Amino acid sequence: MKHTLPSAILASRSQTPVREGEICAVRVDFAFANDITAPPAIRAFREMGAQGVFDPGRCAILPDHFTPNKDMAAAQQAKEARDFAREQGLRYWEVGRVGVEHAFLPEQGLILPGDVVVGADSHTCTGGALGAFATGLGSTDLAAAWALGETWFLVPPTLRVTVEGRPSPWVGGKDVVLALLERLGVQGARYKALEFSGEAFAHLTLDDRFTVANMAVECGAKAGVFVPDAPILAYAEARKARPFHPIYPDEGASYEAVVEIDAGSLEPLVAAPPSPAAVRPAKTFADVTVDQVFIGSCTNGRLRDLELAAGLLKGRRVADSVRCVVIPASYEVFKEALRRGYIATFVEAGAVVSTPSCGPCLGGHLGILAAGERCLATSNRNFTGRMGHPESEVYLAGPLVAAATALTGRITDPREV
């Protein structure tokens, strides 16, 4: 059988033939949870009678959702996760040294080309930007992966997504993936894998690829995997925590469908609530005012995102009617943004800059919305009540639209400012 990239990675980690539509057992290269999903995984681990994780160096807990602890319940969750990590000797990073798990792990060279990575968080698919089959599991399945070093998958069919053309300077990875969501909808890739390639990515940064892979799950996909190329391999080689072997699709592999996107024709896009697939050009939302702008999350809290936002905000002021919350995705990003002057730019513009954390993305803390409030966010979901009160609204966009919106107080195409 000729394999697509996702099935080729699974086949490389399985002792039995891997066929689309059939169940296979695969070895796991890395397995992790966060401060919310680790406690139930720990309880499941105990209940199944497991004594130790399969490899402490390949298992991790990353406190990032409600940290620094927002209340007593959050503090208790973090303590339970920390105690288990110390008991098992697995990887754990204390607050002040971590960041959002999906940004931090690639930086540490713990997600690498050819890997099978499982995490108790749906946006684990972000790791697909590095040519890994990375996917989210429930806490119970994650506990089993911790104990056994393997898991099972129903081998998904693959959609090939080719993104061609040269995007304009106003278009980034968020616009590419929103265009894909407009095409597929939130169910169009349900339990399928996406394989990304195309000329357009040569004109975008690796940070843009992380954004695209991150939102594969919003199409319903099990994974969103980039074919390894020179930028991916260079990034991995510079950061690797262990040896890796990139995997490639077979010539002549069969895809369920091919989705083609012309990045050269794209313009800044926005997704309206309550769906990431309710996508229209940013300029069509010009009459929508906002109370808050959030720049951050595992989707758009990386250095390139902060660079773009700071470029628009420099020497200007956030509108009086707007709260602008900026949260770098990791301390590596935070430190480099500080060195380059981006943090000063945000503060001088009237924004608040917070410690690396998921923050308000999941309605956690550091920017929760009240009833009737509206936010333009660079995060990945805008479901009802996602960022606070069920009568609030969240619009999704990239960092340029977010910065422009913070300046005007209404959703704004960045070309206007």
Q: Which tens digits make up the pLDDT trace of 101-122? A: 999 999 999 999 999 999 999 9
280's torsion region: left (phi>0), alpha (psi -120 to 50) or beta? Answer: beta
Distance of CA 181 to the CA centre of its chain: 15
- DSSP SS3 for 130: helix
**How many angstroms separate the first and last alpha carbons of the chain?**
53
Closest CA to 195 of 224, 216, 215: 224
pLDDT above 70: percentage of residues in the chain: 100
Task: Give pLDDT tens digits for 157-182.
Answer: 999 999 999 999 999 999 999 999 99
Count CB-CB contacts under 10 A for residue 397: 30
Q: What is the pLDDT of residue 1?
A: 80
Task: Give pLDDT tens digits for 371-401.
Answer: 999 999 999 999 999 999 999 999 999 999 9
CA-to-CA distance for 219 and 193, rounded, in angstroms?
Answer: 10
CA-to-CA distance for 403 and 31, rounded, in angstroms?
Answer: 35
Q: What is the pLDDT of residue 101?
A: 98
Return the structure tokens found at 343: 């943090």
Task: Give pLDDT tens digits for 212-238.
Answer: 999 999 999 999 999 999 999 999 999
Q: What is the pLDDT of residue 248?
A: 98
Does 156 sit behind a cis peptide bond, omega within 30 degrees of 0 on the bond before it? no
Burial state string for 275-295 with b = 16 or more CB within 10 A and e = fewer than 16: bbbbbeebbebeebbbbbbbb
Count CB-CB contacts under 10 A for residue 187: 9
Return the structure tokens found at 278: 């309710």
Return the structure tokens found at 202: 């040569």
CA-to-CA distance for 221 and 192, rounded, in angstroms?
Answer: 5
Do residues 35 and 81 lie in contact, with contact meaning Cβ atoms separated by under 8 Å? yes
CA-to-CA distance for 26 and 152, rounded, in angstroms?
Answer: 6
Return the structure tokens found at 330: 């990791």
CA-to-CA distance for 8 and 250, rounded, in angstroms?
Answer: 8
Q: What angle do CA 347, 352, 355 make, to 5 degrees?
A: 110
